[in-house]
Every structure is written in structure tokens, then in C-alpha cells.
Amino acid sequence: MWRCSLAASRRLAPRSAPGVDMRPQLRALASSRRWVAHDDTAWYGQQLRATTILSVRKDDKVFLIGDGQVSLGNHVIKDNARKVRTLKEGVICGFAGATADAMTLFERLEMKLQEHPETKRACVEMAKAWRMDKYLRRLEAIMIVCDASVSLTLTGNGDVIEPVDGIIGIGSGGLFATAAARALIDVPGMDAESIGRKAMGIAADMCVFTNKNWVTQTLETRPPEPPKSS
């Protein structure tokens, strides 16, 4: 949907002379590229992609799950894609977005992890490069990166977001999966994997771009350090 702010419309609209019909010029202006396009499906400035990736952190586990559906417009062209991968030992990642763009970002993030072994530092450096580099900034994807101690969301706007509750959902069904996981996180007897699978099932039932052919990864989290004796 094309929208324009009031100030912009006043600035861009041609001034009319007495007795001159300005409607043709205004119609041409409304269809021009000078008007700003706002997409209601944008999330953190990124287009919501047709997939669902969910990360759940609870107790001593981190569970990352992604569906396998690949859509081209309104058509399903593949149902077993792998959108959840291992970057290196102890670091897992999932993506929503164009496959070629995501593969390029995976390679760049692997390079950053070699330069900076700490996952959070590597993700910050990756987000800086993603934001500033003329080539990388054109890549359209959203990523979840997890290790034993931290879960992060990376976007092309330079965002590196760590959730308070350890739950991250991205993609077209990400909000459904996140809401379901948050509702289940305090249920006794449900670990990270059972919460993730149940939440993804709910998202798959609600989002037509998400199927139930899932790829999963699990990490064991670090036990809390005992308090130092005085």
C-alpha cells in the first residue's frame, strides 16, 4: 500500500494555478516512486519471509527448529529445505529469507567466528559489516544464532537482539510460534524441545507458508557457576 506523510504530500504536490485542473498531475504523483512504500508485514525493517524458525532456551537446553517449506509466491516448490544449520561446534543458526543471501551470510559469519571466538562479539561484527558493506546490505534475510550461553537475532539493519526470555521466532509464522512458546515456557514437565515442537505445530496450523517437515538442532547449556566462598 502506498502512503505518504502530510508534510511530504504538501512538499511534493504541485501548486495549482487559478482555473487549472490539477487532478491529472496529482494522480501521476500518487503513482510515482517519490511516495514511500510501507509494508505492514515488515519486521525490524525486514520483509517477513515465508518460513518459521524458532529458538527456545530453557533449563539446560537450547532447541532450534525450522520448517522445510519453500514457497514461490503462492506455490509450494519444496517441502524439505534445511534452514537450520551448524556453523561450528557449539554454534547453531537458522535463517528466514532468500537462500542464496542466507548462504552468503553464513559464510561471512563463519569468518567472523574464526576472527572472534566469542559468539556475541562475532555477531556484533557481522551486523556491522552487514549494515555498512555496500554488497551485504542488499542481502535480505533474518538470522537466529545460538550457542550454549546466548541466543541472538541478526538483521540487515544492524540489530543484534538478545531476548529476555530466551525465545526467538522469525519468519512469516515467527510471531505465532513465539506467542505459543511464551505461553508454554512455564508449564511444568515441558523442556525446551517439547515447547519448541508444540509451538511450531501451532504456527504451522496458522501460517500457510509453514509446514511440519522440521529440521532441529539441540545444544546443552552451561551449568551455572557455583558461588565463590568468601
User: Catalytic amino acids?
Assistant: 51
CB 150 within 8 A of CB 118: no
Cell numbers at 68, concatenated: 522445510
Q: What is the four-CA torsion angle of 212, 215, 137, 76, rounded to 10 degrees?
A: -40
Q: Report the distance separating Cα 223 and Cα 218, nearest Å.
A: 16
User: Hey, what amino acid is at 21?
Assistant: D
- 107-193-165 Cα angle (round to 5): 80
Q: Report the distance separating Cα 126 and Cα 131, nearest Å.
A: 9
